[in-house]
A and B are shown apart, each in its own frame.
Chain A
Amino acid sequence: MRRSRPPIIRRTLADRIGGFVRDWSVPRQIAGQSSATKAAESALSRGLRPRLDEADTVGTNICPYCAVGCAQLMYAKDGRVIHVEGDPRSPINQGTLCPKGAATLGLMTMPERLDKIKYRAPHSDRWEERSMDWAMDRIAHLTKKTRDEAFVQELPDGGTVNHTQAIGSLGGATLDNEENYLIKKLFSAGLGMVWIENQARV
């Protein structure tokens, strides 16, 4: 269900004073309306809709910060996330989130969010923008070159090691299991890298 925001109506001073008197909750409470429900309403609040009302998509997310594993509901509109909240169904967080988890929308939409590939050439003093295709090609070639220049099949004593010590990888604890699986599979079983580590020791 989609609903658009109520239009902003320009009102005269007399309208505003009249509205204020009508909305003033004290007389209404004296008249018997509850301060928690009816008397808390105003002309403005009656028109307000929750942000997630506008969403066209909702998905289940898991909080990207610590390892408690709080479930989140993530609402999007037109391909942009508009709201993230704790999933009330979760037996872990039961709808709650901590200050970090509650900032998940802020993380996804932060002004500093990187959206382009930046490249710094050796000895340069600046970033340059590059295309994905160029960067992937260059990284693949550097990986192959570095591996091939420093690949060891056997140690001097004849023992097989089939490894390279010239390339390392750091990170994984913020990533999906499927991502860690492919990292270990390609880097270790495919390329023979041994310097593979993540945040488990820090």
Chain B
Amino acid sequence: MLRKGLLDIFETALNRRTVFTTGVNFREVTDRKEMLKSLPVADEGTAGEKSIDVDSLIQGRGDRFPNSQIDSKRFDGVLFKDLPIINIRVSPNNTIINLTNAKGLPEIIRSCGIEGFKNTRKGTNVAAQATAITIGTKIIERGTKTARVRVQGMGPGRMSAIKGLQMAGINIVSITDNTRVSWYPPRPRKQRKL
């Protein structure tokens, strides 16, 4: 009975909903700025940033994040701190991947530009994936199979570079974000005029 009463109220409210149609006529989308404003924000290659996905986090909570035993943890018989590092430097216009040893000395470097992609094509996810696959196979030829990954910056190549490394057959132990973020940075460059 009570539920029915509530439903009735909802229904009448729905039928009487006021829809304003005059505002549409006043909108001006003649300008380029206006057009850009109405467009959806471009995806910058950070999948999962806005999604809410609680179950997977709770499920594997125990071992997801490093704890105090991190230094004694072994992966493929090698201590975590002695594993080689694959650095991925992502920017909107390019993706640079390099392999360093555990101390940080660089060994191989490869970028979308070296790979043969030029100009705007460098800054695509396809280019990043291709680069990651080539450097991944090279790393495996050198005899390294297990590595930890450190990502810096944001851009279209962020996810696809990691995926490419996995496709090349590298056993990725951990993913670290090393994006440089400051709350009190020196004054950045002026805004672009669109």
Are A and B interaction partners? no
